[in-house]
Structures are given as structure tokens and as C-alpha cells.
Amino acid sequence: MAEWNNGAGRTAEPPRPSRPDGTVPGHIAIIMDGNGRWATRRGLPRTAGHKAGAETFRRIATYCKNIGVKYLTVYAFSTENWKRSEMEVAAIMALLKRYLLEAVETMERDHIRLHFFGDMTPISPELRALARETDEITEHLSKDDFQANVCLNYGGRNEILRAVWQFAEDCAKGIRDPWDMDEEEFSFYLDSRGIPDPELIIRPGGEQRLSNFLLWQSAYSELYFTDTLWPDFDEAELDRAIASYQKRDRRFGGVKK
């Protein structure tokens, strides 16, 4: 994070915006980018960056819950991330296992729902079982509780393809009419069914693209990019993203009168 001159010849972090006033997005999505670069710049293994990034996720999820965000969706592991080294993939999966074990113990106490987007079939049986357990706990919690959605082995194109395959199968079984389809009906077949589209998508790390993230759901999302690497992303950075969102003129293709 850039340093700020406090007027006394010393430097410090820039002043943090006040807690968000006005409309807070009901659904925020984040591409958690920059873990590896954060570690490399510090002479650390990339796995150390993922560990730091996991702690950032925990902190930001808690903050989102506290300020009234209803849904937080994070891009944890894409369908393309299998191309990384076995050591790095194993480290990410180990962190996920630790997080899920903690979630099983704390979800009901903290009133946090947890849901997964993505094709879970290549994920280890142990992790799939833990994910099913969190799903069962989520079903017992109030739909008004905060919900974190974790995109694991996820790709936006793959999600759309899987939705098409499922719809085609339902048509073949006579459950659906292939000509009886609109956007709302199609959304039912997506991983995000029942969840409103994100109003705000944030990408730390300096890149300015979606990278196959929530391609259907992001049609009218506001986008916010920052050079801050994900492990350094904090509550103040989220406040700035929300402040930027609050200044946007969201017309959804129309014209305000």
C-alpha cells in the first residue's frame, strides 16, 4: 500500500475512509489475485502467499458480514489453475481443507452460510465430503444469514456449458421444452441459482480482466480494479471499492429521467 505523508515528516498508511454510508452492495464478488507475486516480492515461496491470502479472505468475509453485505463470492481456484505446480496446488487444497474444518465448527455459531460454485468432481473425496457437510449446515441456517460462495475448480464458460448440458438432459427426459427458455429459467441451471447477480466485482493485483469469472452473472456488474495485491487487501481498500460503486450511475441499458 502506498505511504502517506502525515504532515509531520513521517509516513503512514493513507487515511482510511469511514465505514461505508449509503447503499452497500448486497452481493460483492472478488477475484483474489496476487498471492504468488506478494510472496515472490518478499523472497518467500508462493505457498506463503496463498496462506496470507487465506487470512485476508477470512478477514474480508467477516467485514462484509458486519457492514451488511449479504453475499460474498470469491474466485479461489479456477479450472485453469491445475496447470500450476503440484506443490502449489497441494498447498491451496490443504488451506481449503483447514478452512472447511473450521467452517464446520463455526458456521452455526457465526450464522455464516457457505456454498461452492464449480465442478467438484476432480476435487479429492475428502474435500468433497467436507463441502457436502457445509452444504448441510447451510440448509439449517436462515436464508437471511450472510453467505460466502467459494468458486472452486470454477470457470465461467464451464459453468455455462454444464448448465446447457443439464438443460439438454432435462429436455431429453421430457422434463423441459427446449423452446420454453428465458434468461431467468436458464439462471436456474447455473451454480449461482437462487443468488442475485453481484452488483460489484473487485479485482486486486493490477490486472484488468474477468479471467473467466462469473461471465453470465457479471453482465451488469460494476467493476473495480486496484493494484493492491490480495494479501495486502484490507477493510480500507474494500471501503474505497464500495465508495467507488456508490458513485456509479447504474442504468441497466436505460436512461434515467
Would you please indicate which residues are annotated as catalytic (active-site) residues? 33, 81
Q: If 0-12 CB within 10 Å is exposed, 13-18 middle and 19+ buried, where does residue 236 land?
A: middle
Q: By the 8 A CB rule, do 117 and 150 touch?
A: yes
Cα(198)–Cα(210) distance, rounded to whole angstroms? 13
Please report the DSSP string for 172-204 in residue order.
HTTSS-TT---HHHHHTTSTTTTSPPPSEEEE-
Cα separation, 127 vs 159, in Å, equals 20
Nearest to 178 by CA among 188, 192, 164: 164
CA distances from 53 to 33, 73, 95, 169, 251 (A): 9, 15, 10, 39, 34
The x, y and z cell numbers of residue 6, run together, are: 502525515
Neighbouring CB atoms inside 10 A of 4's CB total 12
